[in-house]
Amino acid sequence: MLTPKSTRRAHTVRRVLTVLMGVVIALVAVPTAAMAAPAAPTPTIPGLPGVPVPDFLKPLLPAPPAPQATPEPAPAPAPPAEPAPPVPTKTGWVALADDASKMLTVWHNGKVVRTMPISMGSNDHPTPNGTYFTKEKYRDMYMDSSTYGVPVDSPGGYRTYVEYAIRMSWDGIFLHAAPWSVAQQGKTNVSHGCINVSTENGKWAFENFPTGTPIVVRGTVGGQYVQGS
């Protein structure tokens, strides 16, 4: 016959066994939970809510898996740069004035180093196509239509102060700064035959283009440039 004291002892043993079984179950269940979720909660003993696993058992628990970084997509390859026009250059520099894009592209030793919007000769005064070679530079100058037979006071005449002028031909075609046509540069042709660029781009070309640098004009309605003219 069990006495009250024996009954209490039996209940205590059963309670201890229940707790130990809960610890064993928690140790088995923790790895599965840790792998199923990126950040598992602190494990507790089953049957005893809010009671964490004792510190002496924590070293036996597996470490939670490290979060997997999402790989970044590879950048799209850059389009190949347009090759320089196949013209001889003793300076290492070459430029292409393309009427379709209204842009001047500049290469140095085979690599594109600058692009700039341009405005070339209008349909009434088109810039001839072909290869020009830079001849002279003027930090500033007056351009006068009378030098090629159009009086200054005639309807098509002009006398205009310009900066950073690079002579391309002896008959009066220059690449030069034209701040008055910046709004048209890259869009329409409005000059009397010269290649108009902004003051910033004109200064850059003036400082970098050596004498003898080829400038190729392509795609205008101006016919063909005659070398030496």
Which sequence spans correspond to the domains of the chain? 4-60, 93-218
The answer to whether residues 221 and 125 touch, using CB atoms and an 8 Å cutoff, is no
pLDDT at 47 over 80: no
CATH fold for domain 93-218: L,D-transpeptidase catalytic domain-like (2.40.440)
Q: What pLDDT, on a 0 to 100 scale, did the predictor assign at position 183?
A: 98
Q: What pLDDT, on a 0 to 100 scale, did the predictor assign at position 173?
A: 95
48-87 pLDDT, tens per residue?
Answer: 666 676 776 666 666 667 777 777 777 766 566 678 899 9
Of the two residues 126 and 53, the one the predictor is more confident about is: 126
Among all residues, which ones are annotated catalytic? 176, 194
Provide the pLDDT confidence category of residue 198 given band limits of 50, 70 and 90. very high
Task: Tell if the pTM clears 0.75, that is, is over it.
Answer: no
